[in-house]
Chains A and B, each alone.
Chain A
Amino acid sequence: MATILEKVICVTCPKGCTLEVTLEGDTIIKVENGCKRGHEYVHQELTDPRRMVASSVQVKGGLHPLLPVYTSAPFPKARIQELLSALRQVEVNTPVKMDDIVLRNALGTGIDIHASRDVKEEAITS
């Protein structure tokens, strides 16, 4: 079977190395450049691409109307839009603590969505 050379830019850390991957069909033969984490990334990216997703949900009673949230683990890339739609339906109440779960087992992936920060209950002032 013919081998294909593919270039993959690693997004694991800010270095953004370009890894050269030799493929035979779907099988990875060789990965050049990059570190150990980079090699893991390539395997993941070519078999089941995932991304960390950060967005926001609505929050009641805080200083701002939105609470920033993030995925506890990289999320399947193909389902990101679906996840974002789900998050638009979420509304939480104050007080919120960082890492509180705002959406458990999102879309059945087993990945929880966490609050990125604390939000205090604001005293109601005039």
Chain B
Amino acid sequence: MIDFDVIIIGGGVIGCMTARALSRYQLKVLLIEKESDIGMGASSANSAIIHAGHDPLPGSLKAEMNIKANPMWDQLSADLGIPFKRTGAYIVAIGDEDCECLDSLLQRGRENGVACEIISAEEMRNREPLINPQVSGALFTPTAGMVDPFAACIAPLENAIENGVQVKLETAFLSFLTKDGSLTGIHTNQGDFNCHWVINAAGVYSDEILRQADPESTFTIIPRKGEYYILDKSEIQLNNILFPVPSAVSKGILVLGSTHGNVLVGPNSTIEEDREDKAVTAKGLNEIWLGAQKLVPTLQPGSIIAVFAGLRASGNAPCPDCSIDYKHDFLIEACTQLKGLINLAGIESPGLTASPAIAERVIEILQQEGLKMDLKENWNPIRKARPRFHHLSMAEQKQLLKKDPRYGRVICRCEMVTEGEIIAEIHAPLPARTYDAIKRRTWLGTGRCLGSFDMPRVIELLADETCQPVTSITKKGPGSEFLFRLTKKVEA
């Protein structure tokens, strides 16, 4: 007896996009996620850019997936209600030395088939008045854009759920189940599930899962931490994506706007042995601040409203094209040692951009591997974004309030998130069950007060709506409870 045709391990943007791609077919699909919500790894801690594709090494899988995926985002955004703005991006040269690099960047961009042009320093100053006046020129890539990285996970998975995909949270993969050397399912902390196919989209843990199936593999993830600042939108407005001229290892420390209006500064890149360590460091925070000031010297520390860090799942996969000497490519392939396992590993930047193309590649691989895939007749590609009270016109606000007065009570005053919105997320197709889950969906608590005002109210709403005591409401899953006991219940 078979529980599922396909099980996806990992609810990051890769897993969620893959779930949606698979939901088009007459397959029983399960997505498991070890955390209390999806998108809790690198997918929610990145620069939130849809890259044009000028940067990856021509011929690499990163370049191929990036370039294929970039144009897909307009449709995805329209179908799934993912906030997305095609703003274009600038690689900004400061001083003469940087300026000499622009030509080679232009060359690489053209080789990748990406629209790009060099603009003058004057033009750059016109387009972004906050830019360092020492700017000597810039490479403009008009197809780059900004996306809401949380919605990029939640929206496709909700659409997948509405099309029949199942999701299990707080479910961690432990081992493969095999019979006579062939895959029969997976063993998890929540029991065993039978299946024929497993998609490994486990982010920083993808190498560990891969090596369970293929102990000889030399593939390894060495997580690299990136730290960020978020700046107050009422203090600084910047609607562009500004890269510095890249170094050998990273795209450098950027200053960019976001779909949400806040300016983002970061990331640095430091090797991190602990795959759960998302702590920000004093050193890192100084580094990104100095780096960002190179692009925008007038940044004010007083405008900082949040700091965070993410871990990139950096791998050591060689480029599939042997003629290209590149050792940090995506790994997207069927496992040769365990039939039925598809590995999606080492997916670092531009992984968010590439995610819909990677999902399509998974479909191709499954077909090549012999999975019979029939399209569903009634597949619904549309997932409607739930209303955001603050983004509505006054007439729409009035109408919504008449229909549901709960949209009239503002819970998060910085981001103007209402009770109605929070309750809608608690009862969404993929229910938000933790404070951080609500935060990722509504952007509540991401403003200047960092949730000081909304936190008690959100916890109360979560408890009421899910019929739990407030002491069991968590920030991000078991072990991260907010409250211990009633004030008056002091143990003797």
Touching chains A and B, CB distance < 8 Å: yes
A28 proximal to B (CB < 8 A): no
- A57's nearest neighbour on chain B, judged by CB, is B488
- How close is A78's CB to chain B, nearest CB, in angstroms? 19
- How close is B459's CB to chain A, nearest CB, in angstroms? 15
A57 CA to B488 CA in the complex, in Å?
A: 8
User: Which residues in B have their C-beta under 8 angstroms from that of A56?
Assistant: 487-488
Residues of B439-492 whose CB lies within 8 A of A: 486-488, 490
- A90's nearest neighbour on chain B, judged by CB, is B488
A58 proximal to B (CB < 8 A): yes
A88 proximal to B (CB < 8 A): yes
- A91's nearest neighbour on chain B, judged by CB, is B488
A66 proximal to B (CB < 8 A): yes
Q: Count residues of chain A with CB under 8 A from any CB of chain B.
A: 6
A56 CA to B490 CA in the complex, in Å?
A: 13
A66 CA to B486 CA in the complex, in Å?
A: 10
Question: A42-70 vs B: 1/0 string, CB under 8 Å?
Answer: 00000000000000111000000110000
User: Which residues in A have their C-beta under 8 angstroms from that of B488?
Assistant: 56-58, 66, 88
Interface residues of B toward A: which range? under 10
- B489's nearest neighbour on chain A, judged by CB, is A88
User: Which residues in B have their C-beta under 8 angstroms from that of A65?
Assistant: 486
Interface of A is mostly: strand
A19 CA to B490 CA in the complex, in Å?
A: 37
- How close is B464's CB to chain A, nearest CB, in angstroms? 12
User: Which residues in B have their C-beta under 8 angstroms from that of A58?
Assistant: 488
- How close is A23's CB to chain B, nearest CB, in angstroms? 38
- A58's nearest neighbour on chain B, judged by CB, is B488
- B490's nearest neighbour on chain A, judged by CB, is A88
A73 CA to B488 CA in the complex, in Å?
A: 23
Question: B309-323 vs A: 1/0 string, CB under 8 Å?
Answer: 000000000000000
Residues of B391-428 whose CB lies within 8 A of A: none
A66 CA to B489 CA in the complex, in Å?
A: 12
User: Which residues in A have their C-beta under 8 angstroms from that of B490?
Assistant: 88
- How close is A62's CB to chain B, nearest CB, in angstroms? 14
Most A CB atoms within 10 A — which of B487, B488, B490?
A: B488
- How close is A110's CB to chain B, nearest CB, in angstroms? 25
A57 CA to B490 CA in the complex, in Å?
A: 13
A58 CA to B489 CA in the complex, in Å?
A: 11
- B492's nearest neighbour on chain A, judged by CB, is A85
- A84's nearest neighbour on chain B, judged by CB, is B490
User: Which residues in B have their C-beta under 8 angstroms from that of A66?
Assistant: 487-488
A65 CA to B486 CA in the complex, in Å?
A: 10
- How close is A58's CB to chain B, nearest CB, in angstroms? 6
A54 CA to B132 CA in the complex, in Å?
A: 55
A57 CA to B487 CA in the complex, in Å?
A: 10
Question: A69-99 vs B: 1/0 string, CB under 8 Å?
Answer: 0000000000000000000100000000000
A88 CA to B486 CA in the complex, in Å?
A: 11
Residues of B345-384 whose CB lies within 8 A of A: none
- How close is B470's CB to chain A, nearest CB, in angstroms? 11
- How close is B232's CB to chain A, nearest CB, in angstroms? 32
Most A CB atoms within 10 A — which of B486, B487, B490?
A: B487
User: Which residues in A have their C-beta under 8 angstroms from that of B486?
Assistant: 65
- How close is A125's CB to chain B, nearest CB, in angstroms? 13
Residues of A87-126 whose CB lies within 8 A of B: 88
- How close is A32's CB to chain B, nearest CB, in angstroms? 42
- A85's nearest neighbour on chain B, judged by CB, is B490
A66 CA to B490 CA in the complex, in Å?
A: 15
User: Which residues in B have their C-beta under 8 angstroms from that of A88?
Assistant: 488, 490
Question: B2-46 vs A: 1/0 string, CB under 8 Å?
Answer: 000000000000000000000000000000000000000000000
- How close is A89's CB to chain B, nearest CB, in angstroms? 9
User: Which residues in A have their C-beta under 8 angstroms from that of B487?
Assistant: 56, 66
- How close is A1's CB to chain B, nearest CB, in angstroms? 45
- How close is A122's CB to chain B, nearest CB, in angstroms? 15
- How close is B419's CB to chain A, nearest CB, in angstroms? 15
The 9 listed contacts between A and B (C-beta, < 8 Å) are A56-B487, A56-B488, A57-B488, A58-B488, A65-B486, A66-B487, A66-B488, A88-B488, A88-B490
The 5 A-B residue pairs with the shortest CB-CB distance, nearest first, are A88-B488, A58-B488, A88-B490, A66-B487, A56-B487
Beyond A56-B488, A57-B488, A88-B490: 4 further Cβ-contacts under 8 Å?
A56-B487, A65-B486, A66-B488, A88-B488
